[in-house]
A and B are shown apart, each in its own frame.
Chain A
Amino acid sequence: MSGLTTKEASRIEDGLHLEETLVAKFDAYSKQTTDPECRRILADVANRHRHHCDVLRRHVRGALSAVGPAGGTSQGSTPDDGGSSDQERTGGTPPTLMTGR
């Protein structure tokens, strides 16, 4: 994994914040809605956003490892260290897309 450009870093950082918010939003919506199909779709979208978070974090990790140990120490400040694994965060639901990696 190569390093990131400054724009990419900014985009990924903003994307992480965005996705985090979206997960919360769609989770809340899926619980609030009354229609089963709506609920399913909203939950699915929430899971997609979780997975996007993971994808973006992966790039952060890759970039930090590319810059060496110093960067590795700063990895602790990334949102990846939230204490839960990808699988836990997705509630056991694998992402429906993004499987081509």
Chain B
Amino acid sequence: MSGPDPGFDDRNILADALFTQKGVTKYYDDSVLESATPEVRRDLTRIHAEEREAAHQLWKEMNRHGWYNTQPADASKLSQLRNTATQVYQGGIRAVDRSNQGDYSSSWSGQHGQGQTESKNFGGGAGGMGGGWQGQGPGGLYGGSQGYQGGGMGAQGPTGGPSGMGGGYGTGYGPGSGGGYGAGYGPGSGGGYGPSTGGWGYSGSPTGGGFPSGGSRGSAGGYGSSWSDRGQGGYEAGQYGQQRGGPSFGGPTGYGAGPVGYGSTGGYGAQGRESPYGGSSYSGGYGGGPSGPSYSGGGYGSPSGPSYSGGGYGPSGRGSRRGRSAWQPGGGYGGGMGGGGGRSWASEPPRYYGPSEENW
């Protein structure tokens, strides 16, 4: 280039400069996240802040010239936002969003809908509403199930309701499973991600008080619960989530795992407890059930317990308490029911939080 391009004026220059700064900012954002050495992290954090500030300066200059204008959100957009915010805080939206995430998404295509709006209230708490969500998908991870019919979710009720149930959220995740996706968002829910075969048992259940911790307490089903009997190497997913403020996985391993939900604390799977129903294998969150064909767990609340999870159960699964049975592909059954006391809150998937020296 022999000189300044007359067509590349100040506006173009600033626009390109801003665009560049945005990219650089993202680069340092990633770099900070990748850094472990305190000094490096500190300096990268500072650089990142400066890059951001530089971008802002450039934007302000463009804005001053009228080259980068902003538009206020109109009333309809704000109304939509308000609705979203309301729903989120009452539980449910997060769970819906999960349908499009990562590992779970392969077999899902969820959509909002009216879903099941049945509300029930077991043992306390005002009846809430069924959130209403229906998902359809080709199958679970194992490709066997028919997809989902998630129950309603998003239980809503007064905070602190002693019990209640979380809404079910999807079912039929795996072959023979009825397992639901988690069922049991509300307090007292069992839940479990997944079928009794797989028993992912990811369930999130806030504490009985409806604390939106995202953590599950006492939720049944655990990550990997009930895959098989302990003796069969079913892996133990660890404690059922009792932590607040974080994701929790829980669920005891093992066979049976028939939990009885506890209303106020969320149903939790009885660890290592064989189902009283004759050998059926239950995955997390299942609190009993009929004899014979086993139900997978996902968040099926025990009828005998004071609390319920939503969640579906899969009628076609046949489980062995030893975890050896083959599971029939089965459609999930969405058992989700909204309502219950306490706000429900969907648990988060596991996250890793890197080391951080700073309080944000």
Contacts and interface: CB of A to CB of B under 8 A. Distances in A.
Interface stretch (B14-22, B140-148, B169-177): B14-22
Interface of A: 1-5, 7-8, 11-12, 14-15, 18, 22, 25-26, 29, 32-35, 37-38, 41-42, 44-45, 48, 52, 55-56, 58-59, 62, 97-98, 100-101
A62 B43 CA distance: 13
Contacts of A12: 40
Nearest to A30: B13
22 contacts: A2-B37, A2-B39, A7-B36, A8-B34, A11-B44, A12-B40, A15-B27, A18-B24, A18-B27, A22-B20, A22-B24, A25-B17, A29-B16, A29-B17, A33-B13, A35-B65, A38-B61, A48-B50, A55-B43, A62-B39, A98-B46, A100-B46
Contacts of B8: 32
A80 to B, nearest CB: 15
Contact of A52 (B20, B36, B50, B58): B50
Contact of A55 (B17, B31, B47, B53): B47
Interface size class of B (residues with CB under 8 A): 35 or more
Given A11-B35, A29-B16, 18 more contacts: A4-B37, A8-B37, A8-B40, A11-B44, A14-B27, A15-B27, A15-B28, A22-B20, A22-B24, A33-B10, A33-B14, A41-B57, A48-B51, A56-B43, A58-B43, A59-B39, A98-B46, A98-B47
Interface of B: 4, 8-10, 13-14, 16-17, 20-21, 24, 27-28, 30-31, 34-37, 39-40, 43-44, 46-47, 49-51, 53-54, 57-58, 61, 64-65
B20 to A, nearest CB: 7
